[in-house]
A and B are shown apart, each in its own frame.
Chain A
């Protein structure tokens, strides 16, 4: 947000909030211990509002649930913005001092009256109004989101629409108010922080900046190419065009994790050379020319990871990895040696100290301090800096040099359109006991795994399409079909079906999903697939 990609606030502030909005987030199941902090606030009397097409376990705790149609977040946010402006709930002083582009933004949301938003989103106008007033009036509000916002072909615009709400009401950059993208994986924040994104070097330093590159060139004794790289979807695009012929996959299972799985597998199979480094022989590893067995992060490796609240914490080794499996760092350095670059045999702490020397926002985070303080939230500029509970405090300076811009965004419905042949909206999400493609969470036995491969249907849809509760059903999208059992779920509204991605060997949900991706983030639209149901005799 406004430069560095990270949640602006902390769990501690969530506990103290007056209002928590979960927008496209089912934290009760996907981030259970974060939800403990939400519950502390709720039990203290804070209001919880949940925006989600499904009436999820999180929504069941809410004072207000807005069950919008999939992919109508921008109309909803625009109507909330318009109502905040109409009702005089904006922070005019903050807008004038700390933001830019307000007039154009105000103009852009004018068409989104409460009634028009109700027509497009399916959410009653009164509920939209209540959200607008609750957010506009709350002293301390946390606006949190997850993949319900970002797994769309217009993910970045969705995020902008939420940031705009915080700018309108001055609810960012001060204690108690903030924007929190809840991270789905234990180090997805840290991966981005370390430069595992196409346009940044470690510490969110722009790769096109000559001074930044010069610093890294000098430290590394090589030349960093002055170009942006590719994100995952871009890589698949490049494979399609024959521009990318060799791929090195570390700890990822794209053969089952990518949208439109049939295409993903075809492209991976067609490569000249595929290297997979993983702790298991995943489906992707089975396609590889070379497999490098790796140590697991859990119990077998040293290093750091960074959480949703930007907290860098130590990962520690408890015992040796089995067989020939080796630590990721060791594999990378061994590979470098084979490629003619002997970089020695650094330990995790040496690598971390190199990060600290090149990324100013990590400079103060020595292993000793991480140990002593139980983790540190970036930025942490030097060894006296306690880290940052929240970001963007500068927006409350008397003179704001670098103003936060309002972003004008347009409604752009899901790419996979509903029609007579594909009349149902399939959305996807995480279950409490499972994780991603099940590589890890498939390893333990739990009563909660029961029914994991089922498609969940609104009872009305079951009746309408002749699929009984518990019956087998074929699910057909424009890209493929799968067969599984159907289960009625009264928390789903008519027209909406739900599956997860955790049991790909039993039901390959990603055969159905569309790889329409956001051009800026590269995230595919896992949340919106058009399907039809065919009863299986």
Chain B
């Protein structure tokens, strides 16, 4: 199929407009999109202008059709993205969302003109990860990861409607009373730090989270025989976070409780 993006025509084998743009080296912003997740079209930051279409279309989920002509950086697109970022930035604390902050900068968004985000409100109900919904942009990624896309535990969903919409466990119970199995696959996909490992949370509180100094070393999980790749995030000769690469065919970025949080034994010596 042929598609023209920003004046350049190229051949692609299906996929989405986002796939085509990335193939051409065009950096289209995304927040709710995940490489390993089904697109839910929630954040609207990836919208592009498609000739012949009345509205802007989400690049992350719109399939390429032969002969499409797309503009990813038109004034209409920039205005829309700026507005989306101002709405997000005025209602959500983006301080631990590096991608969103970069987009705010790129599109000259001024969230402050619409309001002030809420104060932090961390919920600490276990020793493995912390939830702070003042930082949640309702991108649904955690819900998708906990649901059919990966974990199939269904411990969380979107509760409420409109301004009351929020991510919640069943009846809003604390995590230890919920169906959560602490795989942390929701933490892995969260783009804003609303979900954060407890170790990272504590280090940030202490002013000692130094991400730029951290080494990332790939190894294999020391527990069962499935062979999950672990990326160890190391600061001051200690593991401070564990992730797995999205493109690792065994895990697709997912781990279980032992792989993601069971590392502490090595440091209890």
Interfacial residues, chain A to chain B (CB-CB below 8 A):
11-12, 30-34, 36, 39, 43, 182-189, 279-280, 296-300, 305-309, 311, 313-320, 322-323, 325, 374-375, 432-433, 435, 439-448, 450
Q: Are B220 and A322 in contact (CB under 8 A)?
A: no
Task: State the Cβ distance, A302 to closest chain B Cβ, in Å.
Answer: 9
Q: Are A444 and B226 in contact (CB under 8 A)?
A: no
Q: How far is the CA of A63 from the CA of B23 in the complex (A)?
A: 42
Q: Are B263 and A186 in contact (CB under 8 A)?
A: no
A430 — nearest CB in chain B belongs to which residue?
B224
Q: Are A316 and B217 in contact (CB under 8 A)?
A: yes
Contacts of A184 in B (CB 8 A): 224-225
Contact A189 B148, CB 8 Å, known A280-B269, A433-B182: no
Contacts of A182 in B (CB 8 A): 225-226
Contacts of A186 in B (CB 8 A): 220-225, 227
Q: How far is the CA of A318 from the CA of B241 in the complex (A)?
A: 13
Contacts of A318 in B (CB 8 A): 215, 217, 219, 232, 234, 239
B176 — nearest CB in chain A belongs to which residue?
A447
Q: How far is the CA of A325 from the CA of B266 in the complex (A)?
A: 12
Task: State the Cβ distance, A21 to closest chain B Cβ, in Å.
Answer: 18
Contact A444 B234, CB 8 Å, known A30-B224, A296-B222, A432-B256: no
Contacts of A322 in B (CB 8 A): 269
Contacts of A300 in B (CB 8 A): 266
Q: How far is the CA of A280 from the CA of B259 in the complex (A)?
A: 20
Total interface residues on B, using CB and 8 Å? 51
Contacts of A446 in B (CB 8 A): 126-128, 182, 257, 261
Partner of A183, one of B224, B229, B262, B268: B224
Q: How far is the CA of A465 from the CA of B42 in the complex (A)?
A: 56
Q: Can you list 5 A-B contacts (CB < 8 A)?
A: A298-B232, A299-B263, A299-B266, A316-B217, A447-B126
Answer yes or no: B218 CB below 8 A from chain A CBs: yes
Q: How far is the CA of A51 from the CA of B229 in the complex (A)?
A: 29
Task: State the Cβ distance, B256 to closest chain A Cβ, in Å.
Answer: 4
Answer yes or no: B152 CB below 8 A from chain A CBs: yes
Contacts of B41 in A (CB 8 A): none
Answer yes or no: B61 CB below 8 A from chain A CBs: no
Q: Are B225 and A298 in contact (CB under 8 A)?
A: no
Contact A440 B262, CB 8 Å, known A186-B223, A308-B225: yes
Partner of B227, one of A30, A43, A307, A444: A307
Contacts of B150 in A (CB 8 A): 36
Q: Are B256 and A185 in contact (CB under 8 A)?
A: no
Q: Are A36 and B254 in contact (CB under 8 A)?
A: yes
A313 — nearest CB in chain B belongs to which residue?
B220
Q: Are B220 and A305 in contact (CB under 8 A)?
A: yes
Q: Are B237 and A314 in contact (CB under 8 A)?
A: no
Answer yes or no: B250 CB below 8 A from chain A CBs: yes
Partner of B148, one of A30, A43, A433: A43
Task: State the Cβ distance, A462 to closest chain B Cβ, in Å.
Answer: 24
Contact A439 B265, CB 8 Å, known A185-B224, A375-B227: yes
Q: Are A320 and B237 in contact (CB under 8 A)?
A: yes
Answer yes or no: B264 CB below 8 A from chain A CBs: yes
Partner of B265, one of A36, A443, A448: A443
Q: Are B256 and A33 in contact (CB under 8 A)?
A: yes
Partner of B254, one of A33, A308, A433: A33
B237 — nearest CB in chain A belongs to which residue?
A319
Partner of B218, one of A32, A39, A316, A450: A316
